Amino acid sequence: MTSAIRLIAALTVPLLTVSGCGWWHKATVQPPAGSVSPIRSSSATLTPYPHVNRPCKGKIPQPFAGIAIDGHFSSSVASFEHDTGAHLRLVEFYNRFPGQFQRGEAQQVVNLGALPLIQLNPRRISMAELAAGSYDSYIRSYAREVRSFGCHVVLSFGHEMNGWWYPWGLPDTTPRTFKAAWRHFFGIFAAEHVANVIWSWDPTHQHSPYKPGKVAYPASMWYPGNRFVDWIGIDGYVGTGQDFRDVFGFQIRDIRRVTRKPIYLAETGVGDNAREVSQIGDLFTGIWRWHLAGLVWFDLNRKNSWSLDGKPIKDAAYRQSVARFP
């Protein structure tokens, strides 16, 4: 295939691209038979980048497949793609704040042809103090490091804030304080003229009391506003006896009450169980039917067996579904 033909073929799938805090699609990928077509948006002219890495410029096709891992990027991505047939467009990893921007990790992801998604976790700080300016020097340093990196990164700050398990959520941090902290963090990046961040606000799918002392809340309570967000990534996992609607239905509807920003699954997986094959198929069908931008598989075994490594039955189910992705 000549380079010209490859370029034409590449332009037949939709791309997510960033312009300030707005996103658009060029076209619509056809969903699997029997599912609902994704929402069509206004047509736009797509500028080709034949000589640069598209993920480096913040451009990936949708719906996209991604993976959440903890280091060992090259071997983990290679193994996952080999086992599942997926073309991974996004690689998610976790960093602490305060701390330095992990340029080396981000560069490894870009070298793999993917877009880095960094979950930045403010574990040992007060969000109220952050909103008041106590950590401005750390934020400013981080922002400058990201700006100098050049390539786009997806940045999520304080994910799953609407749950009960992190100090940046209730009861330690109120929605008002969290939103003020997020906007302050964003504002420093803007003041530093950082133009290569895709801001991903990532609530948990949990939205109600779980047991005494463990209460989650509707995501909309914590939404900082359209000016400060590009993507919305929901974290949620499919357990025994659950389906896509059970896990994600409430939170998607709640988020859609306040914004039309693109939604994707920022952490997801299906636990090992007798219905795992049908649940994986249902998870992918849900991406189409609920008009989501993609999903990131949590390929780590924490609190359950989410990884697909060495599980041929789950691998085959994933492979069959992800084959419909560009």
Tokens matching residue 96 = 């602490």
Q: What is the pLDDT of residue 33?
A: 42
Output phi, psi for 93, to 5 deg: -145, 175
Instruction: Give me the long-range contacts of 297-300 (CB less than 8 A, separation at least 24).
Output: 297/65, 297/66, 297/67, 297/68, 297/80, 297/268, 297/269, 298/68, 298/237, 298/267, 298/268, 298/269, 299/67, 299/68, 299/69, 299/76, 299/80, 299/269, 300/68, 300/69, 300/70
Task: For residue 82, name the pLDDT band (cuts at 50, 70, 90).
Answer: very high
Using an 8 Å Cβ cutoff, are 194 and 143 in contact? yes
Q: In the chain, which ranges are E strands?
A: 15-19, 22-24, 60-61, 64-68, 88-96, 115-121, 153-157, 197-201, 209-211, 214-215, 231-235, 263-268, 294-298
Instruction: Mark residue 242 as left, alpha or beta (left: phi above 0; alpha: psi -120 to 50; beta: remaining).
Output: beta
Residue 94, pLDDT score: 95
**Looking at residue 306, what DSSP letter applies?**
-
Share of the chain above pLDDT 70, in %: 84
Q: Give pLDDT, residue 302.
A: 72
Instruction: Read off the pLDDT of each residue in 102-123 and give the average, rounded to a whole number.
Output: 96
b/e burial code for range 40-59 (CB count within 10 A of at least 16 → b): eeeeeebeeeeeeebbbbbb
- pTM for the complete prediction? 0.86
Structure tokens belonging to residue 112: 């793999």
Domains of the chain: 3-46+56-322 (3.20.20.80)
pLDDT in tens, 2-56: 434 333 333 345 667 554 443 333 333 344 444 333 333 332 233 333 345 689 9
DSSP state of 118: E
Q: CA–CA separation, 143 vs 194, rounded Å?
A: 7
CA distance 70 to 89: 17
Condensed to tens digits (0 to 9), the pLDDT of residues 276-324 reads 999 999 999 999 999 999 999 999 877 777 889 889 999 999 999 999 9
- The tens digit of pLDDT for each residue in 127-167 reads 999 999 999 999 999 999 999 999 999 999 999 999 999 99
pLDDT at 18 (0 to 100): 52
> What average pLDDT does this structure show over 254-270?
97
The mean pLDDT of 172-196, rounded to a whole number, is: 98
Q: Tell me what percent of the residues of the chain surpass a pLDDT of 90.
A: 78
**DSSP 8-state symbol, 228:** G
Residue 313's φ and ψ, nearest 5 degrees, are: -70, -45
Q: Beta partners for 66?
A: 90, 296
In three-state secondary structure terms, 24 is strand
pLDDT of residue 71: 83
Q: How high is the mean pLDDT of the chain?
A: 87
Query: Which amino acid does the sequence have at 185?
Result: F
Task: Tell me which residue of 105, 107, 67, 63 sits closest to 83, measured CA to CA.
Answer: 67
What local confidence, expressed as pLDDT, does residue 304 receive?
73
Least confident of 14-23, 225-234, 268-277: 14-23
